Amino acid sequence: MSTPATRSRENTRARLLEAAAQVFAEVGLDGASVEAVCERAGFTRGAFYSNFESKDELFLMLAASVSEVRVSAVRTRVEELTAAGALVEGCDPIDLVQQIMELGGDDRLGVMLLSEIRIRALRDRQFGEAYLAQEREMVSSIAQIVDDIVSAGLLRLRLPAETAARMLMIIWEGMTVRGAMAGQDDAQLRHSGGAELGRLVQLLIEP
Amino acid sequence: MSTPATRSRENTRARLLEAAAQVFAEVGLDGASVEAVCERAGFTRGAFYSNFESKDELFLMLAASVSEVRVSAVRTRVEELTAAGALVEGCDPIDLVQQIMELGGDDRLGVMLLSEIRIRALRDRQFGEAYLAQEREMVSSIAQIVDDIVSAGLLRLRLPAETAARMLMIIWEGMTVRGAMAGQDDAQLRHSGGAELGRLVQLLIEP
DNA sequence: TGTATCCGATACATAGATGTATCGTAAGGT
DNA sequence: ACCTTACGATACATCTATGTATCGGATACA
């Protein structure tokens, strides 16, 4: 009766979104034909237009999904760490930051997809607002745990927590992107980016 | 005889390159048709294919030109500052960094074009190498002046100059991109980015 | 088993982009 | 003044993507 959203329909949409994530990452939004996405998902365009209005609508949904996943991943991780009492005397702040940063696409394709989203945010005013809003959420989640550590008296910052968190995010992004360019595999990518990030952390905290 | 590269031919190529810079920035490499570029330049596609082999070739030339301009702009500025003896006792390092960073496209379109180049660097291995190489040049130019300041005994760094320079570049890029997203006009863009950059500088130097 | 419905496949009409081949014209040499 | 060459415009053939309209089959329900 009231469409319980047929099981297989949801599945189709999910597969199309997944395929789109890959194809968009590989060749870009404009470079990707609807057909290419469908082919990757194992469908024809009939399935596509039955589920989405246009390539653009699909992209917006995908971007929203990616954002939501990233933000909530960071948030739950922060909550876990806080609840699990990881903020004890001997904890290594560099390690903590890396643990948080490692969530969220730092594989090669993930970086490319995020870049595609970022460039869309640059071109599309409205989309840009949403992108920045989502980023502020992430920053504030990170700032929160930083603040918790400071409040616990484990260390002191040379900057406001928000500012520090923003810098961490930007440096993290910059390093992952450059790592992906150097064609390193994912493990190295994580590691080399982490090294630089560690230096920034040492910079941020007061000895 | 030996084609002295007719005056008007060089001019045509320049106009096409300039138009391409605009159009690529606005709608992206894949989103831009050859025709759109030609129209912007006031030509038809006949002129285009008479001067370039493909859109891709044009893009590569444009990217090379942009890189070259940026690197040499920074380099000559560094030389100017060094030669002019700007590294005196009372100089403000924050100001210096901002002066250097302000060169190189920090207008809205410039940011978008650079992003387009960056994403290409992510997708194309060979191009990525070139991109990173060019960036290393910039970083080392910046590191040089930082080093000069340190050598002059005006201040001390908490990090190697190269690392500091890299962080400066990344933060600068991150801030300009986010500024452009917020839809600020160019002046504000420069300013808000500069503020954050200033904080990083204060972080980098030892009090 | 019959039937209604939903969903994805197929076929088609259309639009837009690409690249090439040809043409006209303006500049330069003799 | 004539001829040649260079350069950009025009016209055309091809290809690819898009979106829609229609069809076929599976599934749910009686």
> DSSP labels for B126-140?
HHHHHHHHHHHHHHH
What per-residue confidence (pLDDT) applies to A198?
A: 92
Direct distance between the N- and C-terminal alpha carbons of chain B, in angstroms, rounded to an integer: 66
Mean pLDDT, to the nearest integer, of B187-203? 85
Alpha-carbon Rg for chain A, nearest whole angstrom, is: 19
User: By the CB < 8 Å criterion, does A106 face chain B?
Assistant: no
Which residues in chain A have their CB less than 8 angstroms from residue B135's CB?
Answer: 178
What per-residue confidence (pLDDT) applies to A87?
A: 79
Of B111, B170, B196, the CB nearest to A174: B170
Q: Protein footprint on strand C: which nucleotides are under 7 Å from a CB?
A: 6-11, 16-22
Report the run of H or E that residue A100 belongs to, with start and end.
Answer: helix A93-102
What per-residue confidence (pLDDT) applies to B1?
A: 36
**Eight-state DSSP code of residue A206:** E
What per-residue confidence (pLDDT) applies to A1?
A: 39
Distance CA A179, CA A115 (A): 13
Query: Closest nucleotide to B38's CA, by C1' atom?
Result: D8
Tokens read off for B178: 């986010």
Number of H helices, E strands in chain A: 9, 2
Q: Determine the distance between A52 (CA) and D28 (C1') in angstroms.
A: 25
What per-residue confidence (pLDDT) applies to A18?
A: 98
How far off is chain B from A134, nearest CA to CA, in Å?
13
What per-residue confidence (pLDDT) applies to A4?
A: 45
Tokens read off for A15: 């597969």
What per-residue confidence (pLDDT) applies to B185?
A: 75
pLDDT band at B2 (very low <50, low <70, confident <90, very high): very low
A92 vs A140, A145, A149, CA distance in Å?
21, 13, 11
Q: Determine the distance between B42 (CA) and C27 (C1') in angstroms.
A: 21
Give the tens place of pLDDT for each residue, B157-189: 999 999 999 999 999 999 999 999 998 777 777
**∠ CA B184-B190-B194 to the nearest 5 degrees?**
125
CB contact (8 A) between residue B167 and residue A163: no
pLDDT band at B54 (very low <50, low <70, confident <90, very high): very high
For the cut 80, the answer to whether the pLDDT of residue B81 exceeds it is yes
Which residues in chain A have their CB less than 8 angstroms from residue B199's CB?
Answer: 159, 163, 167
Q: Determine the distance between A10 (CA) and D18 (C1') in angstroms.
A: 24
For the cut 80, the answer to whether the pLDDT of residue B190 exceeds it is no
What per-residue confidence (pLDDT) applies to B192?
A: 80
Q: pTM for the complete prediction?
A: 0.94
What per-residue confidence (pLDDT) applies to B207?
A: 73
What per-residue confidence (pLDDT) applies to B83?
A: 87
Provide the chain A residues 30-59 that lie in CB contact (below 8 A) with chain B.
30-31
For the cut 90, the answer to whether the pLDDT of residue B64 exceeds it is yes
Closest CA to B110 of B173, B192, B198: B173
Which residues lie near nucleic chain C, judged by CB under 7 A?
A 3, 5-6, 8-9, 11-12, 38, 42-47, 50-51; B 33-36, 45-46, 49, 54-55
Give the tens place of pLDDT for each residue, B99-129: 887 776 578 999 999 999 999 999 999 999 9
SS3 A156: strand
Which residues of chain A, if any, have pLDDT below 70? 1-7, 104-105
Tokens read off for A129: 């607002």
Distance CA B130, CA A117 (A): 24
User: By the CB < 8 Å criterion, does B26 face chain A?
Assistant: yes
Name the maximum alpha-carbon separation found in chain B: 66
Residue scoring higher pLDDT (B144 or B92): B144
Residue with CA nearest to D10's C1' atom: B46
Of A115, A131, A183, the CB nearest to B125: A183
Distance CA A114, CA A24 (A): 10
List helix spans (H) across B84-160. Answer: 93-102, 108-123, 125-151
The answer to whether the beta carbons of residues A168 and A94 sit under 8 Å apart is: no
Share of chain B residues as helix, strand and coil, in percent rounded to the nearest 5: 75, 0, 20
